[in-house]
Amino acid sequence: MTSSIIHDIKPLADLHPKPESVHFQYGTAGFRTLGHVLDSVLFRVGILAALRSKKQDGKTIGVMVTASHNPEVDNGVKLVDPRGEMLESSWEAHATNIANAPTTDALVAGLVKFVDDLKIDLSKPARVVYARDTRPSGAALVSALDDGLKALGAEVRDAGVTTTPILHYLVKAINTKGTSDSYGDDSEEGYYQKLSSAFKRLVKGRPAIPPLLIDCANGVGAFAAEKLAQHLQDSITFILANTSTTTPGALNNACGADFVKTQQKLPPSLEGKLKSGQRACSLDGDADRLMYFYLDEHSQFHMLDGDKIAALVAAFIGELVKAAGLDEDIKVGIVQTAYANGASTKYLADRVPVKCVPTGVKHLHHAAESFDIGVYFEANGHGTVLFSRETQEKLRSHEPTSPAQSTAQGHLIALTELINQTVGDALSDMLLVEVVLAHKSYTGIEWDALYADLPNRLVKVVVGDRNAFRTVDAERRLVSPAGLQEKIDALVGGFEGGRSFVRPSGTEDVVRVYAEASSRVQADELAFRVAGLVYDQAGGDPAKRPVEFL
């Protein structure tokens, strides 16, 4: 039976041949590369998603076609598991193997073995919901995905052009529909209603919130922000910028969350539009990253990144837990990566437990689940807050002994609805930040003053083989190439407040170098000198050193 069903995919598979001399790898971001080479990958991901659904007893699996903050010519695809979380890590290798089968016959043989090894019951139903961002290559790739789903007779739901976080929301809402753990109405409208209703409750009675400028990165977040604004009505006003979703080459170009984080400056398109003291934020191309910023009275740019968001949010939630009389029963914790600014780690460690994990959403999300309330934000602006099931039950069953406790309890319950707990969500996180600022009566200036970032610099070095660079200690130390870490340590010791680490990219043959020090000049010099060590170790010409500052 297995053999006959899998063999039936041959006619469709022949329409989507794998390109020669291209190796695909499924990582934290799924498959991601130039959009024009991904046709075969999307077809095979359709098959894989259907098989994953069958393995999960017919639960709905999500597929998101996006390359997030990458340039418009790129595209990608990732799978979403039934609870709205990232694909189970053990399936990443399976996805890579299936994507790289060189021929249709090899693909069929590999699938037969895969189904037999994992004991997948092909008689089970397959259900898949998918969506895409605004990239021009998206429509053709979805067509290839559809063929893969059709090959195994999957029941398909097309969520259209929408954000990555909304797709994650839909997956969980579909799979919990009609249960006591219902996550919300399984529609995009349900998403907007859930967030806006919680936001209105949380800011009720607070002073009017000043308008917020949102850089939409010329991506799908422009559509979502406009729809969300309609549901929020007069509780907050958005000023939308960079909304050119159909202009060729505009997506993420000199704008968006990644531009703000890596360039540490105002997007050129916002010059003259942002007033001194006014808050602004940037989404990325699929609206799962968020960066805040403001201009001071001297028109100097100040960035408020994921570390600043984590500090603001964690402190606020901790205060609410204490005000509700639940600080003995509910513990708040923070999860960071090595990219977190050293000043933020020190600030947070003085207040709540802090864990450091390897870069990647799956590591952060898993670690955050170990806390009653786990806050995780990467410095790049991707993050969320997780409330354990036990914690949510405690919040609902808690009997307050004063009006103040009752108010804090109500706010915590509303936060569980405002926050998209399936994945980092720029719009949800944006509303969360606005709630905290409203409660604290903070402007960007007061928020920024919580702690002073150490100057830092991120660069990337092109190498022949990124797999030659292996790390330990949550990616903070190298174990190979041999001897390189000792050279880095010797360099770092010569810089005041110096810290640097090196890690290979998960998607391309580059090595990323992060450095921080007590001054901007020293941070830049340390980053460049460590990058030089990396390039020399990789066998490059010391006279050239193609190091790109990010």
- Catalytic positions are 68
Q: Give the side-chain half-sphere CA count within 13 A for 453.
A: 23
Taking Cα atoms as reference points, which of 20, 57, 67, 26 lies closest to residue 44?
Answer: 26
Amino acid identity, residue 399? E
In this structure, what token pair is assigned to residue 15? 């329409």
Contact 431, 420 (CB under 8 A): no
Q: How many CB atoms lie within 10 A of CB 86?
A: 21
Please confirm whether the linkage preceding 136 is cis (ω < 30° from 0).
Answer: no
CA distance linking residue 245 with residue 218, whole number of Å:
5
In this structure, what token pair is assigned to residue 550? 């990010």
CA distance linking residue 13 with residue 54, whole number of Å:
20
Contact 250, 71 (CB under 8 A): no
CA distance linking residue 445 with residue 334, whole number of Å:
23
| Ramachandran category for residue 78: left, alpha or beta (phi over 0 → left; psi -120 to 50 → alpha) | beta
Q: Is 239 helix (H, G, I), strand (E, B) or coil?
A: strand
CA distance linking residue 495 with residue 152, whole number of Å:
59
Q: Say how many residues make up the chain.
A: 550
Q: Is 271 helix (H, G, I), strand (E, B) or coil?
A: coil
